[in-house]
């Protein structure tokens, strides 16, 4: 019997939430699920595109072999995103940036919904689907919802690629370092809507725990991180996170 009742936030967590100054939030696809963004894994199977598992189509190897196919995959996801809005979880997290003196939001999501909800200075570990990058001079290009994306670089004319981190590729310079620095300094770390299977992102909560932080996971399902957490709030982020607001 699925327990749909909202989980209870412990007195301990409420106390820590009320007096914390250094807080880290790490999010994954689950935080955008209630906005209608398909997750990669859920219900036991993982996303497949034209018969290819997502970590194949979203890989450095595929980019070398077939850039147009990679673009087709991200164009499809971007089109899906156009009509979608942030949900209550995104808005609650956006409010937290004004609540805590040292607040860091680290996301694995490329959908830009945290920023659309008002979050500033988001550490995007895996890039952003609304940007393209030149394969030669690395110039960044913004992809607008109306004009779509240019095929070639406006500076050197070489082909553009999605400005996202593909499997087998390094994270953006400094992004993981900044996230790990905040994890090693935080008192309270929330892990929201991630299956915690992709590295190095999934290693951040361990960094926070090693530094003595209180770790809280928000997820309707258990993950490999659940046992590492001081508290697990079993439920949907859009229902659970606003409970901290009152
Ligand atoms: C790299 C962008 C160095 C593209 C992404 C160590 C061990 C093993 C493997 C590795 C390792 N180190 C590196 C690797 C390889 C690899 C990796 O981790 N592989 C995995 C599969 C084992 N990592 C890499 O390749 C990384 N690069 O290591 O570079 C290097 C370089 C060269 C040579 C050697 C080393 C780069 C990884 C980044 C890849 N790009 N995204 C795109 O989007 O297509 S990863 C992508 O997948 C996402 O960004 C995210 O990170 C991941 C999906 O995970 P989640 O976001 O958590 O989503 P998921 O669907 O899985 O889960 C959703 C969760 O939400 C579930 O738990 C569900 O229960 C929950 N949920 C559902 N609804 C709700 C909810 N929660 C709350 N509320 C709800 N309503
Ligand atoms: Zn260029």
In the predicted model, residues of the chain with pLDDT beneath 70 are 1-4, 42-45, 246
Pocket test residue of 43, 61, 167 for ligand 1, highest count of atoms within 8 A of CB? 167
Q: What is the pLDDT of residue 246?
A: 63
Rounded Cα–Cα distance for residues 230 and 214 (Å): 6
Say if ligand 1 is within 6 A of residue 76 CB: no
Write out the catalytic residue numbers.
126
| Distance from Cα 65 to the centre of ligand 2, integer Å | 20
pLDDT at 45: 60
In contact, 185 and 156? CB cutoff 8 Å: no
55 Cβ below 6 A of ligand 1: yes
Q: Which helix (H) or strand (E) holds 217?
A: strand 214-218
One DSSP character per residue, 106-142 reads: EE---S-HHHHTT--S-EETTEEEEEEEETTT--EEE
Ligand lying nearest the CA atom of residue 167:
1
Specify the pTM. 0.96
Output the pLDDT for position 5: 73
E strands in 15-120: 22-27, 41-42, 45-46, 48-49, 52-53, 102-107
Looking at the CA of 132, which ligand is closest?
Answer: 2
Q: What is the model's pLDDT at position 2?
A: 53
How many whole angstroms from 178 Cα to the centroid of ligand 2?
Answer: 27
Q: What are phi and psi of 184, to 5 degrees?
A: -75, -10
Cα-Cα end-to-end distance for the chain: 28
42 in ligand 1 pocket by Cβ < 6 Å?
A: yes
- Residue 74 CA to ligand 1 centre (angstroms): 16
Residues 107, 95 contacting (CB under 8 angstroms): no
């Amino acid at each position: 019997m699925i327990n749909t009742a909202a989980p209870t936030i412990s007195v301990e967590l409420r106390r820590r939430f009320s007096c914390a100054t250094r807080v880290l939030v790490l999010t994954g696809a689950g935080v955008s699920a209630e906005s209608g963004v398909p997750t990669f894994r859920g219900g036991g199977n993982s996303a497949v595109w034209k018969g290819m598992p997502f970590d194949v189509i979203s890989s450095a190897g595929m980019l070398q072999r077939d850039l147009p196919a990679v673009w087709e995959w991200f164009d499809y996801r971007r089109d899906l995103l156009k009509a979608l809005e942030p949900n209550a979880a995104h808005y609650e997290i956006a409010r937290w940036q004004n609540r805590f003196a040292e607040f860091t939001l680290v996301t694995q999501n490329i959908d830009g919904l945290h920023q659309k909800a008002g979050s500033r200075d988001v550490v995007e570990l895996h890039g952003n689907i609304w940007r393209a990058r030149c394969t030669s001079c690395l110039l960044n290009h913004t992809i607008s919802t109306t004009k779509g994306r240019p095929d070639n670089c406006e500076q050197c004319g070489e082909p553009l690629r999605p400005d996202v981190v593909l499997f087998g590729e390094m994270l953006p310079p400094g992004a993981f370092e900044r996230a790990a620095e905040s994890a090693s300094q935080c008192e309270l770390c929330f892990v929201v809507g991630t299956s915690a299977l992709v590295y190095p992102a999934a290693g951040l909560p361990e960094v926070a725990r090693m530094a003595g932080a209180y770790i809280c996971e928000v997820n309707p399902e258990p993950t490999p991180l659940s046992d590492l957490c001081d508290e697990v709030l079993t439920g949907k982020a859009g229902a659970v996170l606003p409970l901290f607001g009152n």
